[in-house]
Amino acid sequence: MNDKIDGTIARLQLVFVCLFALLLVAQIRVQLFEAPALATNPHNPRQSLLAAFRGSILASNGAPLAMTQRGVREYPLGAELAQVVGYASARYGTSGLEDAFDGALSATFVSTDPVEQFRLFVNPVQRAQEHARGATIVTTIEPSIERVLYRHLARYDAAAGVVLDAKSGAIVAIASVPSYDPNKLDALFPSLRVDSSSPLLDRALQGLYPPGSTMKVFTAAAALDSGSVTMASTFFDPGYLQVGNSRIHNDEDEVTGTADLTRAFALSSNVDFSQIALKMGASTFYTYLRAFGFGGDLGLTIPVSPDHIPRESEIYAGELAQLSFGQDALLVTPIRMAVTAATIADGGLEPRPHLVREIRRPGGGVTALDPGTLGRPISAETAAEVTKMMVAVVKYGTGTSAAIRGINVAGKTGTATNPLGRPHSWFVAFAPAEDPRYVVAVVVEHGGYGAAVAAPIVRDVLATALGRK
C-alpha cells in the first residue's frame, strides 16, 4: 500500500517538474525572444508610461513638427503636414513618419522590474533624467515653403503638391488636402475613417491620377534620348489623328499646324506627341518607362502607391498614342511626376526622394541618412534639350501663368481627362532653369486647365522658395 502511495507521489512530482520546466521555457521565450516586440507593441499598457519620453520630429531648421509636452503628443504645424508626419496614438497606433521611425522615436527604457515600472508611473518627472529618451528625427521639411504650398492647396476641395531640392531629391515641402488636425486625432479618428473625402489619404504620395500632358516631359526625353526624334524634327497637326479606332485630338480641337519639337511641346500638341510615340514604338517607350522607374519603388520611408502602368504585351497603337500624353490607363502619383521633372533638372540623374536627413540619438550619436540616387535614365545632353523645351512652355506656350520676373522657369502644364468630372489640373516645374534649385509638382482634382489653376500655385511656391516673395 505504501509502495503504491509512493509511486503516485513520484508521478505527481514528475508532472510538477514538467510543468515548471514548461513555465521556464515559456518565460525564457518571452524574456529573450518576444520582449522587443512586446515592448514596442502600441497596445502594451507600458507604452503609455513611455509616451512622455518619445523623441521629437523636427523640420530642417530645428522647428518641431512633433513633440511631447506634459505627456501629450503635439503637432505644431497641424493639418499642414498631418499625413506625412502622421500620429502616435495609444488608441489608434501610428502612421506616417511616426510609424516609419517608431523604433527610433520610442524610449528605450525596457526594464521588466515591476518596482521600477511603478516608480516611473507614480513619479515620471523625477525619473526622467534616468530615462533613456527616444531619438530625434530631423526631416528635410522647410516650414516657410510648406506653409505657402499648403495655403494655396487648401483653397480647393482636393489637391496635392510636392517640392523637391533639385539636386538631392530632399522633400522640402509636401501637402495633401483635405487634411485634419492631428492634435485632435483621438476625437476625430472615428469620423475621419469613414469620411468620403479621405482626409487620412496622403494624395501627394498615394493619390493616383492620369498625369495628362505633364507626361510629355517623359515622352520627349525618351524620344530624344533614343534617337527616335531630334530637336529639328517637324510634325503636322491638323487638329486630329486617327490611330486605328482611336481618334486623337487636342484640347478644344486646337490646331497647331506644322511645328518643330520645341513648338509642339510648348503648345502641348497631343497629335504631335502621338506621332512621336508611334515612331518610338511600344518597346522603346516601355524601356524608358522602366529606366525612369515608373511602376517601381521610389524607396521612400513612408508608403507610396505604385504607378499603374498598362502591360506592354497588351498595348496597341491607339493606347500607346494616348500614353504619350498621359491618358488611357496610366495613373501616377504627384511624387512620381516631381521625381521625373527632377531628373531633367539634375541633368539626367534621377534623385531618390527622401524626407529624413538624420537621426540624433540620446547621448550624442548622429546617423546621417544618404539616400543616393535611383539611376541615370537619360543623358545630360537629352536633359538639357528637354529643359529648353520646358522653358519655352513658360515663355510663350501653355504655361505663361507660371512666369516669375527675372527667373527662367522650366515647366509643363497638364489637363488630365478623367471619367468622374472636370479634368485634373497639373503643373510641374523647376527653377532657375539654368541652375535648378527647386522642383515642384502640383495636381488639383477636377481643377480644369493646368495653366489656369495648378501653374499659378507652382509659380508662387517657387517664388517663395527662391526668395522672390
Render pLDDT for 93-120 as a digit per residue (tens, 0 to 9): 999 999 999 989 987 654 445 555 555 5
Give the ranges where 142-195 is alpha helix by DSSP (H). 143-153, 185-194
The whole-number pLDDT of residue 70 equals 86
Q: How confident is the model at residue 41 (pLDDT cuts 50, 70, 90)?
A: low
Work out the average pLDDT over 193-198: 95
The whole-number pLDDT of residue 101 equals 95
3-class state of residue 252 by DSSP: helix
Q: pLDDT > 90: what percent of the chain?
A: 72
Q: Which of 138-147, 366-375, 426-435 has the lowest mean pLDDT?
A: 366-375
249 has pLDDT over 50: yes
The whole-number pLDDT of residue 45 equals 47
333 has pLDDT over 90: yes
From CA 100, how far away is CA 165, in angstroms rounded?
A: 22
The whole-number pLDDT of residue 248 equals 86
Work out the average pLDDT over 187-192: 96
Work out the average pLDDT over 233-261: 86
Which grid coordinates are listed for 93? 497606433
From CA 73, how far away is CA 68, in angstroms rounded?
A: 4
The whole-number pLDDT of residue 34 equals 53
Nearest in space to 162 (alpha carbons), one of 153, 63, 405 = 153
128 has pLDDT over 90: no
Q: pLDDT > 70: what percent of the chain?
A: 85
In residues, how long is the chain?
469
The whole-number pLDDT of residue 437 equals 98
CATH topology of domain 46-139: Penicillin-binding protein 2a (Domain 2) (3.90.1310)
Strand order in the sheet with 438-444: 171-177, 159-165, 438-444, 421-431, 410-418
The whole-number pLDDT of residue 117 equals 53
Mean pLDDT, rounded, of the chain = 89
440 has pLDDT over 60: yes
Do residues 221 and 229 touch, judged by C-beta distance below 8 A? no
CATH class of 143-181+189-353+373-465: alpha beta
Q: How confident is the model at residue 255 (pLDDT cuts 50, 70, 90)?
A: confident
Q: Which residue has the higher pLDDT, 329 or 469?
A: 329
Work out the average pLDDT over 131-145: 90
Q: How confident is the model at residue 25 (pLDDT cuts 50, 70, 90)?
A: low
8 has pLDDT over 90: no
Judge residue 123's burial from the number of C-beta atoms within 10 Å of its C-beta, 0-12 exposed, 13-18 middle, 19 or more buried.
exposed
Q: Which residue has the higher pLDDT, 123 or 331?
A: 331
The whole-number pLDDT of residue 424 equals 96
The whole-number pLDDT of residue 27 equals 60
64 has pLDDT over 80: yes
Which grid coordinates are listed for 341? 521633372
Q: How confident is the model at residue 46 (pLDDT cuts 50, 70, 90)?
A: very low
Non-local CB neighbours of 160 within 8 Å, separated by 6+ positions: 153, 175, 176, 177, 202, 203, 204, 207, 334, 442, 443
Non-local CB neighbours of 363 within 8 Å, separated by 6+ positions: none
Q: How confident is the model at residue 32 (pLDDT cuts 50, 70, 90)?
A: very low
238 has pLDDT over 60: yes
